[in-house]
A = this chain, B = another copy of it.
Amino acid sequence: MEEVYAFGANPLDRASERRGDAAWVAALLDHPDSRIALLSELKPRVRPGSPAPVIDWQPVAPWRDHIAAGATCVLLGLVDGRARFALDATAVPLGADGAELGDMRALAGIMEAGAAAILGEARAIIDWHARHRFCAACGTSTTVHSAGWSRRCPSCKAQHFPRTDPVVIMLPVRGERCLLGRNARRAGARFSCLAGFVEPGETLEAAVRREVLEESGLRVGRVTYVASQPWPFPSSLMCGFIAEAISDDLKIDHAELATARWFSRAEVLAMAARSAAGEDAPDTLAPPIAIGHHLARRWASGEF
């Protein structure tokens, strides 16, 4: 089976074909075995646990009034037939019951992988609702359908679905060296792969070649898919590739990359080890929650 990275190990049965059955969804909300995860301003409520925090799963009943008042509520999926929902509880202050708000990236590095993936799904879809309350076609306020998986316009009847933005992320390689860069737009960014959004009318492979050329000046020949990762900041789907450069001369776009240079396999392995040990310095590799870390590490290990 393929390697799976942070936010990718979602254990839920999405039951997508049943979401449109409003009576079924209502029965799940009433069921005593159903549980709900809460997010406030997109931060998940978690409880201390060992070795890491756990999702603060709540019974649904105490939250029924908030749901009825219009707080975004989404059916994330089922575990052994028992429903798991997510609720936007931004309007509700934390109680004194020991729950706390966690940072999603920090949690993804320490929580059980399935729990982190569930919270990533919850974050992506709650954020989509928050930013898509109106019909993009006509401007009318839309209503939630399909247990939180669509919005419909009462005026023009348009149906809107959660958005997922494909991003290519790639390691340019040339013989025994690979190119890593530091993002110019993120303070404290470490060395990682290049990346960019796929545009209408592009294949994934064409997007890889365009982004590498734009950011580094390198021409890319063969492009090899490695793995994908959902990245809920806010709604990316990272598609990871190895990109074989067929030219050498770097022409760095400093609007995109603060710096970029070639690394040997040994250098990458050393940086990956420091990063995996928790070191956070500008001259080390992106953290292990990021697929870019693994593309570089796997290439450096001789996998490609």
Q: Does A131 contact B (CB under 8 A)?
A: yes
Nearest CB to that of A234 among chain B residues? B200
Q: Does A214 contact B (CB under 8 A)?
A: yes
Q: Does A204 contact B (CB under 8 A)?
A: yes
Q: Does A31 contact B (CB under 8 A)?
A: no
Within A9-50, which residues are at the interface with B (CB < 8 Å)? 10, 14, 16-17
Nearest CB to that of A206 among chain B residues? B10
Q: How far is the CB of A218 from chain B (nearest CB, A)?
A: 15
A203 touches B232 (CB 8 A): no
Q: Does A101 contact B (CB under 8 A)?
A: no
A134 touches B135 (CB 8 A): yes
Q: How far is the CB of A83 from chain B (nearest CB, A)?
A: 16
The distance in angstroms between the C-alpha atoms of A228 and B229, with both chains bound, is 17
Residues from chain B with a CB closer than 8 A to the CB of A166 are: 164, 166, 237
Q: Does A140 contact B (CB under 8 A)?
A: yes
Residues from chain B with a CB closer than 8 A to the CB of A117 are: 201
The distance in angstroms between the C-alpha atoms of A161 and B124, with both chains bound, is 17
The distance in angstroms between the C-alpha atoms of A198 and B121, with both chains bound, is 12
A134 touches B136 (CB 8 A): yes
Q: Which of B128, B160, B201, B222 is close to A7, meaning CB atoms less than 8 Å apart?
A: B201
Q: Does A183 contact B (CB under 8 A)?
A: no
Residues from chain B with a CB closer than 8 A to the CB of A227 are: 203, 205
Query: Quick one: which of A1, A214, A237 has the most chain B CB within 10 A?
Result: A237
A1 touches B221 (CB 8 A): yes
Known contacts A136-B133, A139-B140; A128/B14 CB under 8 A: no
Q: Does A283 contact B (CB under 8 A)?
A: no
Q: Does A280 contact B (CB under 8 A)?
A: no
Known contacts A164-B165, A164-B166; A204/B222 CB under 8 A: no
A sample of 14 inter-chain contacts (CB < 8 A) reads A8-B206, A10-B202, A17-B214, A120-B201, A121-B201, A133-B136, A134-B136, A135-B139, A161-B197, A162-B199, A163-B165, A164-B197, A200-B230, A203-B230
